[in-house]
Amino acid sequence: MALLEVEDLSMAFADKKLYDDASFQLNKGEHMGIVGQNGVGKSTLIKVLTGDQLPLSGQITWQKGIHVGYLDQYADIPDGMTLIDFLHTAFQDLYDQNDRMTQLYTEYAETADDKLLERAGRIQEILEANNFYDIETEIERIITGLGLDDIGRDHEVAQMSGGQRSKIILAKLLLQHPDVILLDEPTNYLDVGHIAWLIDYLNDFDGAAMIISHDYDFLDQVTNCIINVAFGKIIKYRGSFKQAMRQRAEREEVQRKEYEKQQVKIEKTQKFIAKFKAGTRSKQAKSREKQLSHMELVDPPSSNIQANFNFPYADTGSQNALVVDQLSVGYNRPLLKPVTFSVNTGEKVGFEGFNGW
């Protein structure tokens, strides 16, 4: 049985249709890339799958009992919680069980009631089965992999930059070892070294995954099938990312030919109608008109729509576009030593650095 079965899913916001009667499955072992142009509804699809958004119609069926983990960047994190405490909350259930066990042992010491000992033993088995005694090692592995020490274990989550926050939410999600992991553009806030770590992590991850990304190089390394969201349809392609993209291109080529053929037919019919509508062949023209109105239209293939920008510049006659002199930046205290630099007209400057630095 599939881990996830999506049947006849339709979704729209106001009058914007996202998908119509879309069906696909996620199977065990699949690491699925989700691709499509901006605004086609990829993030919305994940929200529908997690139940955060209600679809217009259709069925979403997750296999019973599986744990689905979603990278929720807007998760509520209590004020004052530090990075290390936050990571420990991934195992809150086990810590609660552990407390319960300690309490049972204390009660046993007072009452010598064997039943308490039995109950404590059962909890002990659960803790062992869930690798409770390896939690600290596991947390260290993630801290090293994602470079969380650079943020600081006692740093308060509430005071973190957007990238840092996303990073620790990802860390917690990975610690929870869900059966299925849902990631929406995970590389957006990771620096190069940590993307490499995430690639290794996902390749070793034996659960299923659905990953939205516009970074094809990343998807190529972590996926074994894709779904393409375009023109109200969701189509699944199997195989390596490159094979899947080739199949998508072939399919789009067939669609492009069908589309062009249909456009020629429509034009011909419209000309016929215009020419004979009022004349002796008006009946025929009417019948063609009917035919046209019932025609199932082929969508144009989703060739990448190229954006065009045109900024009309006026020459200011000045060399310096920006001059920054001894600038201090920060919140309660400066984050950097005072910075001095200038940008000349025509220069394009990139800013780089670790998350939150």
Ligand X SMILES: Nc1ncnc2c1ncn2[C@@H]1O[C@H](COP(=O)(O)OP(=O)(O)OP(=O)(O)O)[C@@H](O)[C@H]1O
Q: Which is nearer to ligand X, 305 or 314 (CB)?
A: 305
Q: Which is nearer to Mg ion, 69 or 151 (CB)?
A: 69
Judged by beta carbon distances under 5 to 8 A according to partner kind, the member of ligand X, Mg ion, none in contact with residue 166 is none
Of the candidates 188, 315, 297, which has an alpha carbon nearest to the alpha carbon of residue 232?
297
The verdict on 13 binding ligand X (CB under 6 A) reads: yes
Closest separation in Å from C-beta 185 to ligand X: 7
DSSP 330: B
Is residue 119 exposed (0-12), middle (13-18) or buried (19+ Cβ within 10 Å)? middle
Judged by beta carbon distances under 5 to 8 A according to partner kind, the member of ligand X, Mg ion, none in contact with residue 333 is none
Closest separation in Å from C-beta 286 to ligand X: 39
The pair of three-digit structure tokens given for residue 313, joined into one six-digit string: 């510049």
Interacting residues with ligand X between 138 and 177 (CB under 6 A): none
Residues 6+ apart with CB under 8 A from 108: 116, 117, 120
Q: Which is nearer to Mg ion, 47 or 88 (CB)?
A: 47
Q: What does each C-alpha distance from 344 to 45, 210, 347 come to in angstroms?
A: 44, 44, 6
- Distance separating alpha carbons of residues 69 and 170, to the nearest angstrom: 10
Of the candidates 159, 158, 153, which has an alpha carbon nearest to the alpha carbon of residue 171?
153
Judged by beta carbon distances under 5 to 8 A according to partner kind, the member of ligand X, Mg ion, none in contact with residue 164 is none
Judged by beta carbon distances under 5 to 8 A according to partner kind, the member of Mg ion, ligand X, none in contact with residue 16 is ligand X
Q: Which range binds Mg ion by CB under 5 A, 3-11, 41-49, 285-293, 316-324?
A: 41-49
Cβ proximity of 159 and 80 under 8 Å: no
- Distance separating alpha carbons of residues 286 and 290, to the nearest angstrom: 6
Judged by beta carbon distances under 5 to 8 A according to partner kind, the member of Mg ion, ligand X, none in contact with residue 39 is ligand X
DSSP 187: G
The verdict on 121 binding ligand X (CB under 6 A) reads: no
Closest separation in Å from C-beta 229 to Mg ion: 10
Q: Which is nearer to Mg ion, 43 or 243 (CB)?
A: 43
C-alpha dihedral, 206 to 68 to 184 to 59, nearest 10°:
120
Closest separation in Å from C-beta 53 to ligand X: 7
Residue 352 has phi, psi (to 5 degrees) of: -135, 160
- Distance separating alpha carbons of residues 219 and 242, to the nearest angstrom: 10
Interacting residues with ligand X between 15 and 54 (CB under 6 A): 16, 18, 36, 38-44
Q: Which is nearer to Mg ion, 120 or 211 (CB)?
A: 211
Judged by beta carbon distances under 5 to 8 A according to partner kind, the member of Mg ion, ligand X, none in contact with residue 44 is ligand X
Cα angle: 342, vertex 346, 351; to 5 degrees:
55
Judged by beta carbon distances under 5 to 8 A according to partner kind, the member of ligand X, Mg ion, none in contact with residue 183 is none
- Distance separating alpha carbons of residues 244 and 140, to the nearest angstrom: 37
In this chain, which of 10, 27, 43, 82 binds Mg ion, going by CB under 5 A? 43
Is residue 206 exposed (0-12), middle (13-18) or buried (19+ Cβ within 10 Å)? exposed
Q: Which is nearer to ligand X, 86 or 218 (CB)?
A: 218
Q: How many CB atoms lie within 10 A of CB 295?
A: 12
Q: Which range binds Mg ion by CB under 5 A, 22-30, 35-43, 62-70, 83-91?
A: 35-43
Judged by beta carbon distances under 5 to 8 A according to partner kind, the member of Mg ion, ligand X, none in contact with residue 38 is ligand X
Residues binding Mg ion (CB under 5 A): 43
Residues that bind ligand X (CB under 6 A): 13, 16, 18, 36, 38-44
